[in-house]
Amino acid sequence: MRKLSLVAIFVCLSNASLIDDAKDAGLVAIPNNPAELEELIKQSSPDYEKYPSTKERIELGKKLYFDPRISKSAIISCNTCHNLALGGVDGISASTGHKWTPNPHHLNAPTVLNSVFNQAQFWDGRAGHLQDQAKGPIQSEAEMAAVPSDVVKKITSIPAYVEEFKQAYGKNVKIDFDLIATSIGIFERTLVTPSRFDDFLNGDEKALSKDEKAGLKLFIDKGCTSCHNGINLGGSLAAFGVMSNYTYENVGDFKGNEDGLVKAPTLRNVELTAPYYHNGVIWTLDEAVKTMGKIQLGIKITNKESDLIIKFLKSLTGRMPEIVYPVLPPSSENTQKPILDY
């Protein structure tokens, strides 16, 4: 029998130790077993018991997600600000909606990818799950600017949509605004991106490079996991500017919820989701990492440390779900025409 060298034994032990350290710090892997993953999605979706995910509901929700006719102008879809080809974001500092209106609070669109695992939705955490979140942008004057009753009229004026709702929910289904938002949320449940980091945490010790492991170790030791923890490495509310003021705090008027708490964004796919922070002022991961060290942890992160942490963060870029852009059903003569307000 071939004996392991002392170096090999040390590497095995150090890998196992790092995996344990990550788990002890509250980091959780996306399961690699499909049944376990679906159970986790179920636990993360308060409406799952009433509306389990099915092939028909997912496909219907995908069409609604990509359908710009839901908006008042018939130009803006969910995918406009949460572009699945761009890491689930729009890549601009302040999201822009109806009549080219920028977000009134200068807020940056968080990624929709893995959002099913967020404990809170929106930067101030005002929505608890995906269905509630989906309703907000549709009705916001600065986003899709649609009236719920008009959305229902549009969808029910399209015969193919009516038939798809019957196939998804039963022939006696009542199509209302809640069910439209629920369907979008059911599709969004599928937007999960397991990464090499998850492979490592699930036991594949070769999934991360030496530098990425060193970055993970720094990420834990520096205290980053105090806010960026759980399966999404974020997604829950936390205090912001704990040790010092955020340099760009006056860009926009957002100050968090009534308690001053801000949702810590997921770090999954973070290399794809610039610009960073709630007001989208920071464009590089290096500045984002060093700023976090200063204002949240009260420490200075060196160039070398930042470089290693960023290498770890890039290991969180996941395997994207395959999304086939849907062909949307045709409008009817009764479908409300676009209202541009120009």
pLDDT at res. 9:
41
pLDDT at res. 16:
83
Q: How many CB atoms lie within 10 A of CB 209?
A: 13
User: How far is it, in rounded angstroms, from Cα 104 to Cα 231?
Assistant: 31
Q: Is 318 helix (H, G, I), strand (E, B) or coil?
A: strand
Residue ranges and CATH numbers for the domains of the chain are 14-30+193-314 (1.10.760.10), 37-188 (1.10.760.10)
The backbone torsions φ and ψ at residue 238, rounded to the nearest 5 degrees and listed phi first, read: -150, 160
pLDDT at res. 12:
54
Half-sphere exposure at residue 77, Cβ-oriented, CA atoms within 13 angstroms: 17
User: How far is it, in rounded angstroms, from Cα 332 to Cα 2?
Assistant: 73
Catalytic residue among 143, 164, 188, 305: 143
For the chain, residues with pLDDT lower than 50 are 1-2, 4, 6-10, 13
Strands (E) located in the chain: 96-97, 101-102, 237-239, 261-263
Give the number of residues written for the chain.
342
Does the N-terminal peptide bond of residue 275 adopt cis geometry, omega within 30 degrees of 0?
yes
pLDDT at res. 7:
42
pLDDT at res. 128:
86
55 exposed, middle or buried (CB, 10 Å; 0-12, 13-18, 19+)?
exposed
Alpha carbon 213 to chain centroid distance?
24
Q: What is the DSSP letter of 293?
A: I
pLDDT at res. 4:
47
pLDDT at res. 11:
52
User: How far is it, in rounded angstroms, from Cα 66 to Cα 39?
Assistant: 26
pLDDT at res. 342:
84
The backbone torsions φ and ψ at residue 163, rounded to the nearest 5 degrees and listed phi first, read: -65, -40
Is residue 59 part of the annotated active site? The answer reads no
